[in-house]
Amino acid sequence: MHKGIIDSGFNVNMKIDQSIDRDGNVLEYCRLKNITIQAWSPFQYGFFEGTFLDNEKFKELNDKIDEIAAKKGVPSIAIPIAWILRHPAKIQPIVGTTNPARLKDICKASEIELTREEWYELYRAAGNKLP
């Protein structure tokens, strides 16, 4: 849901909001300097609204998450984390659950690797456009 850090790289030299570099290319800087970025609140959208998982406001995204989860044989909750882990910057997700069963399901993300096609399908299902 909050992916401005990667949007600008996809939309270079475009006259649209998503092309704006709001952070001085911190992602690329960290990659060049071997600095690890951490993604906190990976299941949340907005500040206080809640999670996008199992949320009817994000039906297209949840349908795509469920479809890829079924194909990969992992719980759906593992897919957003697999999406973050697939990025070449080796971003570390910081999850906040206090539920051990949920945490176990989330950890399944480390047992799979999304294809590039799956990664971009998820990006688009979340409402993002590619140039």
Ligand X SMILES: NC(=O)c1ccc[n+]([C@@H]2O[C@H](COP(=O)([O-])OP(=O)(O)OC[C@H]3O[C@@H](n4cnc5c(N)ncnc54)[C@H](OP(=O)(O)O)[C@@H]3O)[C@@H](O)[C@H]2O)c1
Identify the residue among 1, 30, 89, 95 touching ligand X (CB under 6 A).
95
Backbone angles phi, psi at 38, to 5 degrees: -110, 140
The residue among 11 and 42 lying less far from ligand X, judged by its C-beta, is 42
Tell me the residue number closest to ligand X, measured at CB: 96
Backbone angles phi, psi at 31, to 5 degrees: -65, -45
What does the H/E/C string look like for the chain?
A: CCCHHHHHHHCCCCCCHHHCCCCCCHHHHHHHCCCCCEEECCCEECCCCEECCCCHHHHHHHHHHHHHHHHHCCCCCHHHHHHHHCCCCCCEEECCCCCHHHHHHHHHHHHCCCCHHHHHHHHHHCCCCCC
Select from 21-29, 67-75, 94-102, 115-123 the region that touches ligand X (CB under 6 A).
Answer: 94-102
* Binding to ligand X in span 18-57, by CB under 6 A: 40-44, 51, 53-54
The residue among 37 and 53 lying less far from ligand X, judged by its C-beta, is 53
Nearest approach in angstroms of CB 7 to ligand X is 20
* Residue 46 one-letter amino acid: G
Q: Is 80 a residue that touches ligand X (CB under 6 A)?
A: no
Nearest approach in angstroms of CB 97 to ligand X is 3
Nearest approach in angstroms of CB 123 to ligand X is 18
The residue among 77 and 112 lying less far from ligand X, judged by its C-beta, is 77
List contacts with ligand X (CB under 6 A).
Answer: 40-44, 51, 53-54, 77, 94-99, 102
